[in-house]
Amino acid sequence: MRSARSHPRVPPLVEPRGGTRRDRRGRGFRGPVALPGPLSPEGVPGAWDRRAQFDTAVLGAIARLRTRHSSALEQVDVAVEDVPVLPRRWREEVPLGTVVADRGRPRVVLFRQPVQHRTSSRAELDDLVLSVLVDQLAAFWQVDPDEVDPRA
């Protein structure tokens, strides 16, 4: 049996609400903007993923260095890890990258969270990723960093 209470139906909005919108906690707008709709059946991402930003910066740095060192870069793997594994009593500065050369194929590892922690914009992230990659490759190849990437 139905309840005697009536359920008023709220009409849908015809136009966006007026006034200011709140972005609590700085995470960007959520809700209907990011939900699936007729123009985006899969929905749209609420924000650019920080991992994707970092991966894009690494790929851009590799592409920049590939123009001068394509044959040498083919001999090295470049990997990304979130954080370095450090001993419990580590007192030095957290490394931004390292070279692992104990296997058959050497690998340059960039640590995402320490690098992103030191940057505040996308341009700074791209610059720092390139600097870390150049420093690690220069140390591995035993050359001056300016020989790896002379920033003109």
- pTM of whole model > 0.85? no
Q: Do 43 and 30 touch, CB atoms closer than 8 A?
A: no
pLDDT of residue 11: 64
Residue 23's pLDDT is 65
pLDDT for res 80? 94
Range among 13-17, 33-37, 97-101, 124-128 with highest mean pLDDT value: 124-128
Residues in Cβ contact with 65 at an 8 Å cutoff, skipping those fewer than 6 apart = 73, 133, 134, 137, 148, 149
Percent of the chain scored above 90 by pLDDT?
49
Percent of the chain with pLDDT over 70: 69
DSSP at 77: E
What would the pLDDT profile of 17-68 be if each residue is shown by its tens digit? 555 566 667 666 556 666 666 766 776 666 668 888 999 999 999 999 998 8
Task: Specify whether the CB–CB gap between 137 and 78 falls below 8 A.
Answer: no
pLDDT band of residue 90 (cuts 50, 70, 90) is confident
According to the 3-state scheme, what is the secondary structure of 90-115? CCCCCCCEEEECCCCCCEEEEEHHHH
pLDDT at 24 (0 to 100): 67
Give the chain's mean pLDDT: 82
Higher pLDDT, 43 or 112: 112
pLDDT at 94: 92
